[in-house]
Structure 1
């Protein structure tokens, strides 16, 4: 059990209404907040009154349950110990433990349900349960995590079963990584899911595209495509787990940065801390909403600081310029960086070994070239992009939001781990000629690896992959609903209607992908889409387990990959290609 005297060593952690002092770090701390992290960060301790903690958790959820496009952001942390509380996790909320191990911090339950979004079928609809996170904590009961894109459950232990839907209602997720589930995982009606480096007793439920990457073999289903919708990849080629906030009795708060792993399997923390290092908080510039500007953050970057973004929305009138290799940009509570003057939000120049994690990027009303651009560097060391999300439109604004592309990666050796790149299909100022963006993600770097890449509704290609030696494991995409007529959606070759979702450039000689789901909903007009994926017909380009689904609306789709695969002619149909290479397929 932590003692109160240890919790004030750096003046960082609090008890409700208690004045505490310890040498030069004397400070008054109230209502579970700290001066250094601000009012949108809550830190609870085992010695706090449990009913008061529960009341606070319930109050946050009452505000955030339906707050799909609202501005509040919250990060909720628990000091190591045991808590008899149950947390429901709503929009823009991060729930985390502060121990080195997930099992250091135990709570009775943590769940996300899908009861707020009505629909004609009266199903519990989780298809809009975006933008939330549970990390580094043990839940001591069965857990419901009914979510869709732009969510993460990382580095947790579930004592019991994990259910990824709410009573078999609609769901379109999602991502689970570096975790242990003592019981089974039930994905139920989930359209797709990536499970990476996890352990569970068994897995039940399948729909279109469930991918197990580097999971412990015991629980992975025996059946795979075409008998079932499971794609199993035995080892994760390369990964660095996302950094996370920790507390130490001697040194106070810091950020644990795990090391890179190659060919890994299962979670990395059974009884011991994973390989890595703790960076002290004074290595970070702690940014706050309504206090910091692009200017103040850029000054910190110039001084060699990493940046920890506390929960909030940061209106940036110029790009944050990352020029130092090894820089970390880490968000708490879905911290949101928004373009305010037609500028990019983050640009790196001749820098590698970067970490961008836990951030939501918003397009602004003045069109920008990109929201994020990672510039090239010769001989680049690996960089990580983890739980990073992009949004074009949907938010409340006087004019439509727009950008030409969300993220362009010129840097080699980048690893992406759970990205949702989204041109909004609902919300404010949404329409084909309103919230415009030609491409979601453009990858020019070589040796780029993407896990759980989800890209949706852009005006042209959703994903353009121009670099060599790339890997994509688990891809999800819906093409745009709102194309007004076929004349406005013609492939650049001028011969085909509709852009493929995933375009691998003709001069790419090596590329591998596994577990791809691409979905069609021609809501507004009959626009026969030619194919879901375009790749060069060469021996080094291999696609494994790709599925297309015709959801609803007007028909249809001719092929899955290039000329391969069956046509989709009526709603509810699917078509699969199990393997494609050099024009040969099955």
Structure 2
């Protein structure tokens, strides 16, 4: 998302952000444990062999000189501060211990604690600032970065402000303990638009400030304040109290119906690395780790192939997968001339440092077979200049096989068509398998970039659909899909569930004639096929902006279209004209009113 003229409001002086530390209780919910089968990798290193994560991973030990650690962190940040479309990728790993350092997280930077609990690694400060885009406190392009599995002490001597996590899409905070307050923008409430937080404990208050939309799942805090257009809380302890939609714009779902938290790296006292795979949980609130014993399975590093930039190809990665190995993809850009194929049940694919898979020859970047329990996380799928059918395909065809007991899980999955290069694809992500769980997606046909796609992109970086779901009982938490040329999301399977949806229609439609769905103006962002009999969605925000088409009267008839069936329901929907002129005539199925003059809004449908 690239925001221009937008509405937002602040919520009081900074002094109102500080609260006394509040103790939060542990999470609750049922757990189903599913373990990956044992494999015998060839060759298998000894348990305590030195692990080579490649040159783009920096590993810190509490015994190292603090000034040296800070210098290395600062050096990475200086490279990545405004490097939106650069090719450098980094992961900063911290072994258990206390680090009196300040971590400013720039583009393509992944901050990782290596303990079994977030409290095993403590840093002084962890933050993302809105200080590079025209120096305007604008965070609407703060993408592609993340932090996980550590605690933030945040002493007053470091900064007078709360922890700043001023981000938009593709910048998740997972499994973090903040020992204080958090603000989701600059301290002065500059623009910010979209974000994701899960499995996190915040001792104080979290203030969304200017955040126009935000998704929170299985998180605990003392209090939440704020909201502009679309704020969704699922399985959160102590959520804000919703009122009459859209004032305030708060959607609360008491429990998370089904989720498995993202796998993560750990190291023990003997220096042995492993990957912890959390258990599948149902009907939960709060975190997996605070005040409770976390269930799951630990996989030794010997069961993983560690791929490295400029060394590995699709061929070497596929050969390792064929030997029964799991996969760690270290930071870098991987130019693929073939498709990476995940065929073994329970395979774990762990991307570090926003590892980027570019489909250079018009093939899919990755295909996942219709098998149980695959877990894929932390990858950016980039379209090449030859069009691909899909960048990520989950289940190569619709089989109807149930994976309810051990679903395929996808975390922090990003797709990009354009921006750095004139990429092309038909579809970003296609899901054919049943019971897939998606957790933090941003699928983006670029609206800006190094080669001026905003003014010429309609033919330079074409892409038809963002997400196509053909499987049944697919669940999405935190779904953002933007700027594709037809449906942003096309849902053909039954039993689908979406918790938070954020979408912008394309900015660069050349004229209305080029954007007609039969006799109807434009393509709805969210289309549920007429054959679907069961589907539900909570907290849906869809936005329009005629960046290069202002004055050309390009309009959209419906933001959402869905069949009128007893099993199909939508809760808390909103449309917004970002420029005040681009028209969405109706929110859903010719109801809800237009977004010109005032926001279109529907509390529930039907």
Could you say whether these structures have the same fold, taking a TM-score greater than 0.5 normalized by the shorter chain as the test? yes
Post-superposition CA distance 1:356-375 (Å, at most 9, x none): 10111000001110001111
How far has the Cα of 1:553 moved from its partner?
Answer: 5.9
Q: Quick check: 1:173 aligned with 2:194?
A: yes
Tell me the residue number matched to 1:514.
538
How far apart, in 2, do the equivalents of 1:58 and 1:445 lie?
Answer: 45
Q: Is the 8 A contact 1:101 1:272 kept in 2?
A: no
Q: Quick check: 1:367 aligned with 2:387?
A: yes
Alignment of 1:69-468 (within 5 A): 69-118=85-134, 123-141=136-154, 142-166=162-186, 167-216=188-237, 218-223=238-243, 225-250=245-270, 252-375=272-395, 376-377=398-399, 378-380=401-403, 381-395=406-420, 397=421, 400-429=422-451, 430=453, 431-468=457-494
Among candidates 557, 560, 564, match of residue 537 of structure 1: 564
How far has the Cα of 1:556 moved from its partner?
Answer: 1.0
* Distance 1:101-1:35 versus aligned 2 partners, 3 A rule: closer
How far has the Cα of 1:173 moved from its partner?
Answer: 1.5
How far has the Cα of 1:40 moved from its partner?
Answer: 0.7
How far has the Cα of 1:301 moved from its partner?
Answer: 1.0
Partner of 2:75: helix, strand, or coil?
Answer: helix
How far has the Cα of 1:163 moved from its partner?
Answer: 0.6
Partner of 2:444: helix, strand, or coil?
Answer: strand
How far apart, in 2, do the equivalents of 1:25 and 1:475 lie?
Answer: 43
Partner of 2:224: helix, strand, or coil?
Answer: strand
How far has the Cα of 1:281 moved from its partner?
Answer: 0.6
How far has the Cα of 1:222 moved from its partner?
Answer: 4.8
How far has the Cα of 1:555 moved from its partner?
Answer: 3.1
Specify every segment of 5 or more residues in structure 2 that has no aligned partner in the other structure, as ranges: 1-44, 155-161
Post-superposition CA distance 1:370-424 (Å, at most 9, x none): 00111145232311111110000111x4xx2100001100000000000000000
Partner of 1:295: helix, strand, or coil?
Answer: helix
How far has the Cα of 1:237 moved from its partner?
Answer: 0.6
Shift >6 Å, 4+ stretches? 23-27
Post-superposition CA distance 1:222-266 (Å, at most 9, x none): 535243011000000100000010001246111010010000001
How far apart, in 1, do the equivalents of 2:295 and 2:584 lie?
Answer: 47
Q: RCO (CA 8 Å, sep 6+): is it higher in 1 or 2? A: 2
Post-superposition CA distance 1:292-329 (Å, at most 9, x none): 01110001111111110010011110101111111111
Q: Is the 8 A contact 2:233 2:239 kept in 1?
A: no
If the length of structure 2 is used for normalisation, what is the TM-score?
0.87
Root-mean-square deviation (CA, aligned residues, Å) is: 1.6
If the length of structure 1 is used for normalisation, what is the TM-score?
0.90
Q: Is the 8 A contact 1:106 1:137 kept in 2?
A: yes
Tell me the residue number matched to 2:583.
556
Post-superposition CA distance 1:4-53 (Å, at most 9, x none): xxxxxxxxxxxxxxxxxxx98999xxxxxx76101111111111100111
How far apart, in 2, do the equivalents of 1:72 and 1:579 lie?
Answer: 44
How far apart, in 2, do the equivalents of 1:281 and 1:117 lie?
Answer: 40
How far apart, in 1, do the equivalents of 2:574 and 2:195 lie?
Answer: 17
Specify every segment of 5 or more residues in structure 1 that has no aligned partner in the other structure, as ranges: 1-22, 28-33, 582-586
How far apart, in 2, do the equivalents of 1:503 and 1:24 lie?
Answer: 52
Moved more, 242-251 or 376-385: 376-385
Post-superposition CA distance 1:253-298 (Å, at most 9, x none): 1101001000000111024541111100111110000000111000
How far apart, in 1, do the equivalents of 2:248 and 2:347 lie?
Answer: 42
Q: Is the 8 A contact 1:322 1:351 kept in 2?
A: no
Among candidates 84, 88, 99, match of residue 68 of structure 1: 84
Tell me the residue number matched to 1:20.
none
Partner of 1:447: helix, strand, or coil?
Answer: coil
How far apart, in 1, do the equivalents of 2:227 and 2:546 lie?
Answer: 25
Partner of 2:390: helix, strand, or coil?
Answer: coil
Number of residue pairs aligned between Structure 1 and Structure 2 = 542
Q: Quick check: 1:477 aligned with 2:503?
A: yes
Q: Is the 8 A contact 2:112 2:149 kept in 1?
A: yes
Tell me the residue number matched to 1:15.
none
Partner of 1:532: helix, strand, or coil?
Answer: strand
Post-superposition CA distance 1:196-237 (Å, at most 9, x none): 000111111110000111000x34335352430110000001
